[in-house]
Chain A
Amino acid sequence: SQQGEEDPQALSIQEGENATMNCSYKTSINNLQWYRQNSGRGLVHLILIRSNEREKHSGRLRVTLDTSKKSSSLLITASRAADTASYFCATDAGAQKLVFGQGTRLTINP
Chain B
Amino acid sequence: DAGVIQSPRHEVTEMGQEVTLRCKPISGHDYLFWYRQTMMRGLELLIYFNNNVPIDDSGMPEDRFSAKMPNASFSTLKIQPSEPRDSAVYFCASTPPQGIGNTIYFGEGSWLTVV
Residues of A participating in the B interface, judged by any CB pair closer than 8 Å: 2, 30-31, 33, 35, 41-45, 48, 88, 90, 92, 94, 96-103
Residue of A nearest to B42 (CB): A102
Cβ of B109 under 8 Å from chain A: yes
Q: How many A-B residue pairs have CB under 8 A?
A: 53
Q: Which of B60-115 contact A (CB under 8 A)?
A: 91, 93, 99-109
Residues A99 and B45 in contact, CB atoms below 8 Å apart? yes
Q: What residues of chain B lie closer than 8 Å to A100, measured between beta carbons?
A: 35, 42-43
Residues A98 and B42 in contact, CB atoms below 8 Å apart? no
Residues B103 and A33 in contact, CB atoms below 8 Å apart? yes
Interface size class of B (residues with CB under 8 A): 20 to 34
Q: Mark B31-64, 1 if CB is under 8 A from A, else 0.
A: 0010100000011010010100001100000000
What are 18 A-B residue pairs whose CB atoms fall within 8 Å in the complex?
A: A33-B103, A41-B108, A42-B91, A43-B43, A43-B106, A45-B105, A48-B101, A48-B102, A48-B103, A92-B101, A94-B100, A96-B50, A96-B56, A96-B99, A97-B48, A100-B42, A100-B43, A101-B42
